Amino acid sequence: MSVVPLGVPRRLLEFTIDGEPVRAPEGSTILDACRSAGKDIPTLCEGDTLTPKNACRVCVVEVEGARTLVPACSRKAEPGMEVRTDTERARHSRKIVLELLASSVDLSTTPRVAEWIKEYEAKPDRFGPDAARLNEEPKVDNDLYVRDYDKCILCYKCVDACGEQWQNTFAISVAGRGFDARIAVEHDAPLTDSACVYCGNCIEVCPTGALSFKSEFDMRAAGTWDESAQTETTTVCAYCGVGCNLTLHVQDNEIVKVTSPHDNPVTHGNLCIKGRFGYQHVQNRG
Amino acid sequence: MDLHFGDSKPTDDERAAVDALLGPPESSWEGADRSDADLRWARGGREARDRRDLLLPGLHAINDRVGWISDGALDYLCRRLTVPPAEAYGVATFYAMFSVKPRPATVLHVCTDLACTAAGASELCAGIEGGLGPGVQVERSPCLGLCERAPAALAIRAGDPVRTAVSAPATVREAVLAATAPDSAPEEPPAALAVPQADSGDLILLSRVGVVDPASLDDYRAHGGYTALRRAFELGPAGVIREVTDSGLVGRGGAAFPTGRKWQATASQPDHPHYVVCNADESEPGTFKDRVIMEGDPYALIESMTIAAYATGAHQGYLYLRGEYPRALRRLEHALVQARARGLLGDDVLGQGYAFDIEIRRGAGAYICGEETALFNSIEGYRGEPRSKPPFPVEKGLFGKPTVENNVETLVNVLPILTMGAPAYAAIGTARSTGPKLFCVSGTVDRPGIYELPFGATLGELLELAGVRDGLRAVLLGGAAGGFVRADEMDIPLTFEGTREAGTTLGSGVVMAFDDTVPLPRLLLRIAEFFRDESCGQCVPCRVGTVRQEEALHRIAERTGADAADDIALLREVGRAMRDASICGLGQTAWNAVESAIDRLGAYE
């Protein structure tokens, strides 16, 4: 769930989604309105704590009078708009986008993608065995987290979370251009030589598992990662007085990773290096 | 902001290049040696961050002086501007003309785009690569905008000052000479040679090209210069906008949006300041009209921008010039200095109490920066990625402020509108496409160059003027983002509505003729390669779609009929999604030319 800040009551806009009249508060995106109306629109780069970048284009919908399809995640609803979410045209673009992504990167750890690929009848294999892929080895250059750009869909969420939207560290950016564009730190250096402060907020927002905890990466490699056997417990971080919420993911009585609830009004899912990674002392049974 | 700089240091040369642009650093907070005062207060903050837009000029300064951008140089520039190094690295690696790896001081860009390919660029490249030593790096380049003199090469030698030399039409010997001795390379022919109608006497937009001395403000004034601006001051801003609206002028960059409406929308925005931006990032393959105007009649552009600014209430203009136009840059820089010295720019333009000045910003090799919002990002010191619209530039443009952006050809049309009056201007051309129009004719014709015709002339009439040769197979209208038409479609009227009715586009005015000796599949591959290279990579349909398009064209390069059917079906599906779901015009048009070649020319039948 996302946090709805209390404020001055907002005017309700009236428009239609798939022919049904709907009302949404002024400033809502088409996606907000669609979700309220119970429509399931696939999204990848959209994040509940970040300004949408609308880079993946998997949430496109048809708006009457618009020359092209529009991204539901970032286009604001307007009065009188006629939105159609499930036309052949919109479904076609979503299908192709899923095919293009699945043929170029590894989506095996992206939630819900397999379901959408089936729903839209996407066939990523049809570009042939020689279709260009990223094919990069995971970058393991520190003990806390792993960058596996073979899984990166360039959604910009990590860049936004590291930059002006949350962390203000600006350690990562997109470098290069076109198909060769990659998330990188300055001079494409190892993370240890960069401005990174290891807050892990980029991992928190990564939608595909391209950024992951070293603990999770190692367990997946060993075949011992089992989400169904994990429990999640939300508690308060004990390191300082701010009172950030920590969600401890525990498997076999070991903390395997730490996340933070996005609806926490103080942190919105963000933590610092201590809250995110400083849990070894808990399980030091000496 | 928590900035972290590595321990790599700039060389003296790199430091000098940055300091020459920004002035010497004042405190250790921005790269000077530490003094006692630095321990007590920090300079920086908002004031330093407000200089972010100097990032691109700073990268140019280093690249011009040294030939590439080292870690130490980039970090020093970042320290001076308070820009995070990761972001600056992202910007430096975005542009084709910059390198973040060591390379020779001299780079020879050899154009391998459509007109040059048709004129034998591949053989030229092979010959040049064989004839040059290790001191020069040869780069295969997208269109250099010298299509009337194809094939073309541009040598850039780093140093203080940077040296450039153009060779076009290039032979192996001349291109090698330009790269090895740029100072002694022969001067380029005058811009007027690109205007075959130069002596005809009935030109409007090109009337001064080849007639005035582009270095002389007096000569410009002697040929009617600055009468339009005087008239603008008589009319007042609202009057100017009314004239432009009544003239029916629409943007000449390809989108054909009514200019008067754009100006009115900007002028009426309550938010201030307003900006005027001239889009001179002419990178559409086959387009070179803006270069010829800027080289042959630079003051006309400055006067036009001044009028646009006056009408829309802007006091600062930016002229975003593509990085591959060194001569246009020199001429415009000289013209700006002269205009400032004579009170035609500055605090008191023409003694009317109106303040306006223009700054030139140089692109660095990115077609996408011709997209208006990508251009704003580029000027602001960010990656040249397009923004999503709305909001539109008239509301939130450059630096988030109301901005009017027009390309060079659109702007220079404002001069005749004001001097002859809107009704007389609107009487030229057709009812819905008014005024004169410039066409860049290249390819297999006898007299390639820029032609000025009233809207409504047919494609056949234009090609007749340019001396079309026998065996014409196809004509590409509108450049790589445009579409092909057949040799039997010569009666298409060259108007916005006429081309639309014929299922094609006028685009930016490119008319490229290909006879039957030019291998069509190779041209299509070049177009696909161009879009794959020039995609910014922001959205999925364009970033991956252009790659898949190129792969499919490679697979069917030598195949036709049933053998190609599967891949053509694939191309159609991917092309449709690129057109429907890409963020900007680059992805939306990347399939146009290929589609038209399949449907209109039967390229793979």
pLDDT of residue B7: 87
Q: Which residues of chain B neighbour A163 with C-beta distances below 8 Å?
A: 84, 87
- The answer to whether the CB atoms of B1 and A131 lie below 8 A apart is no
Please give, rounded to a whole number of angstroms, the shortest distance from the CA of B129 to a CA of chain A.
25
pLDDT recorded at residue A7? 72
Rounded mean pLDDT, A12-27: 95
Dump pLDDT digits (tens) for B470-519.
Answer: 999 999 999 999 999 999 999 999 999 999 999 999 999 999 999 998 88
Q: Do A179 and B546 touch (CB under 8 A)?
A: yes
Q: Which two tokens stand for residue A15?
A: 């428009």
How far apart are alpha carbons B9 and B73 in whole angstroms?
7
> Using CB atoms, which residue from A95, A132, A176 is nearest to B93?
A176
In this prediction, residues A20-25 reach a mean pLDDT of: 95
- Would you give the end-to-end CA distance of chain B in angstroms? 59
Considering only alpha carbons, which residue of chain B is nearest residue A93? Answer: B577
Q: Do B540 and A185 touch (CB under 8 A)?
A: no
Q: Tell whether the model's pLDDT for residue B364 goes beyond 50.
A: yes
**Residue of A96, A103, A130 to mutate, testing the B interface (most B Cβ within 10 Å of its Cβ):** A96
CB B80 within 8 A of CB B22: yes
Strand B346-349 relative to strand B153-157, pairing: unpaired
Share above pLDDT 70 across residues of chain B, in percent, rounded to a whole number: 99
Whole-number pLDDT of residue A5:
62
Percent of chain A topping pLDDT 70? 98
Residues from chain A that touch B89, judged by Cβ atoms under 8 A, are: 173, 175, 184-188
Best residue of A67, A110, A149, A177 to probe chain B, by most B CBs closer than 10 Å: A177
Tokens describing residue B493: 């009227």
pLDDT one-digit tens code per residue, A58-76: 999 999 999 999 999 999 9
Residues of A with CB below 8 A from B535's CB?
A: 177-179
Give the whole-angstrom CA distance, residue A83 versus residue A85: 6
Give ∠ CA B273-B277-B278 in degrees, rounded to 5. Answer: 160
pLDDT tens digits for range A169-200: 999 999 999 999 999 999 999 999 999 999 99
Of the candidates B75, B88, B544, the beta carbon closest to that of A179 is on B544
Tell me the torsion sign for CA atoms A87, A89, A94, A96.
positive
Chain A nearest CA to B55, separation (Å): 15
Answer yes or no: are the C-beta atoms of B385 and B372 closer than 8 Å: no
B272–chain A nearest CA distance, Å? 24
Per-residue confidence (pLDDT) for residue A1, from 0 to 100: 46
pLDDT of residue B166: 95
pLDDT, position A2: 52
Determine the Cα–Cα distance for residues B572 and B574; give it in Å rounded to an integer: 6
> E strand or H helix at B277, and its extent?
strand B274-280
List of chain B residues whose C-beta atoms are within 8 Å of the C-beta of residue A184: 86, 89-90
Name the residue among B157, B158, B160, B162 with its Cα closest to residue B179: B157
Q: What is the dihedral of CA A254, A257, A258, A263, to 10 degrees?
A: -120
pLDDT of residue B33: 85
Q: Which residues of A touch B94 (CB under 8 A)?
A: 175-177
Rg for chain B, CA atoms, rounded: 24
Q: Which residues contact B64 (CB under 8 A, 6 or more apart)?
A: B17, B158, B159, B161, B162
- At residue B232, does pLDDT exceed 70? yes
Q: Tell whether the model's pLDDT for residue A15 goes beyond 60.
A: yes
Q: Which residues on chain A are in Cβ contact (under 8 Å) with B548?
A: 100, 103, 127, 131
Nearest to B90 among A101, A126, A175 (CB): A175
Residue A221 has pLDDT above 50, yes or no: yes
Does B536 sit within 8 Å of A168, measured CB to CB? Answer: no
Check pLDDT > 50 for residue B197.
yes
Is-contact A29 A81, C-beta < 8 A?
no
Q: What is the β-pairing status of strands B403-407 and B274-280?
A: parallel
- Relative to beta strand B403-407, strand B449-454 is unpaired
**Separation of alpha carbons B240 and B258, rounded Å:** 14
Interacting residues of B169 by C-beta distance below 8 A, sequence separation 6+: B119, B149, B150, B151, B152
Q: Scanning the structure block, which residue is given the tokens 């064209």?
A: B553
Nearest CA-CA partner of A276 in A247, A233, A242: A247
Distance separating alpha carbons of residues B97 and B139, to the nearest angstrom: 10
Instruction: Report ipTM (2 d.p.).
Output: 0.95
Task: Determine the Cα–Cα distance for residues B450 and B466; give it in Å rounded to an integer.
Answer: 9
* Residue A266 scores a pLDDT above 60: yes
Cα nearest neighbour of B389 on chain A: A75
CB-based contact (8 Å) between B577 and chain A? yes
CA distance A156 to A71: 16
Least confident of B45-49, B293-297, B538-542: B45-49
| Per-residue pLDDT reduced to its tens digit, A130-142 | 999 988 999 999 9
Residues B69, B90: Cα–Cα separation, whole Å: 13
Q: Which of residues 210-229 of B touch A (CB under 8 A)?
A: none
Convert the pLDDT of each residue in A108-166 to its tens digit. 999 999 999 999 999 999 999 999 998 899 999 999 999 999 999 999 999 999 999 99
Give me chain B's average pLDDT, please. Answer: 95
CA distance A279 to chain B (A): 25
First CA to last CA distance, chain A: 40
- The span from the CA of A276 to the CA of A219, in Å, is 18
DSSP string, B518-576: S-HHHHHHHHHHHHHHH--S-SHHHHHHHHHHHHHHHHTTT--THHHHHHHHHHHHHHH
Nearest-angstrom CA–CA distance, B152 and B605:
33
The three-class DSSP label of residue B596 is helix
Rounded to the nearest angstrom, the minimum Cα separation between A133 and chain B is 10
Q: How far apart are CA A2 and CA B154, in angstroms?
A: 55
Confidence grade of residue B345 (pLDDT, cut at 50, 70, 90) = very high
- CA triplet B65, B66, B69: central angle to 5 degrees? 115
Q: CB B484: neighbour CB atoms within 10 A? A: 29
Size of interface A-B (CB pairs under 8 A): 169
Say if B256 is an interface residue toward chain A (CB within 8 Å). no
Burial B189-202 (b: 16+ CB within 10 A, else e): eebbbbbbbbeeee
**B contact residues 527-566, partner A, Cβ 8 Å cutoff:** 532-541, 543-548, 551, 555
Residue B197 phi/psi, 5-degree rounding, is -85, 10
**Count of positions (residues) in chain B:** 605
Q: Do A71 and B388 touch (CB under 8 A)?
A: yes
The Cα–Cα gap between A83 and B418 comes to 44
Q: Which residues contact A264 (CB under 8 A, 6 or more apart)?
A: A244, A245
How does DSSP classify residue A75? S
Q: How deeply is B238 buried, as exposed, middle or buried, from its count of CB atoms within 10 A (0-12, 13-18, 19+)?
A: exposed
A195 vs B71, B86, B93: nearest CB: B86
- Summarize pLDDT for B426-471 with one digit per residue, the tens: 999 999 999 999 999 999 999 999 999 999 999 999 999 999 999 9
Between chains, do B555 and A128 touch, taking CB under 8 Å as contact?
A: yes
Q: Which two tokens stand for residue B98?
A: 């910059």
Q: Which parts of B376-462 are beta strand (E)?
A: 403-407, 436-443, 449-454
Which of chain B's residues have a Cβ under 8 Å away from the Cβ of A128? 551, 555
CA distance B140 to B258: 37
So what's the pLDDT on residue A3?
Answer: 56
pTM: predicted TM-score of the whole model, two decimal places: 0.96
Question: Residue B278: which pLDDT band, with cuts at 50, 70 and 90?
Answer: very high
Name chain A contacts of B388, Cβ cutoff 8 Å.
Answer: 54, 71, 74
B551·A127 Cβ contact <8 A: yes
Q: Would the CB atoms of A175 and B580 count as touching at under 8 Å?
A: no
pLDDT for position A4: 60
DSSP state of B429: B
Two tokens at B86?
A: 């990761």
pLDDT at residue B200 greater than cutoff 90: no
**B93 contacts chain A (CB < 8 A):** yes
pLDDT reported for residue B49? 79
Q: Nearest by CB to A127, from B87, B548, B576: name it.
A: B548
**Whole-number Cα distances in Å, B374 to A9, B56, B535:** 36, 14, 12
Q: Any idea what DSSP says for residue A11?
A: P
Confidence of residue B130 (pLDDT cuts 50, 70, 90): confident
Helix (DSSP H) and strand (DSSP E) numbers for chain B: 25, 14
pLDDT tens across B374-425, in order? 999 999 999 999 999 999 999 999 999 999 999 999 999 999 999 999 999 9
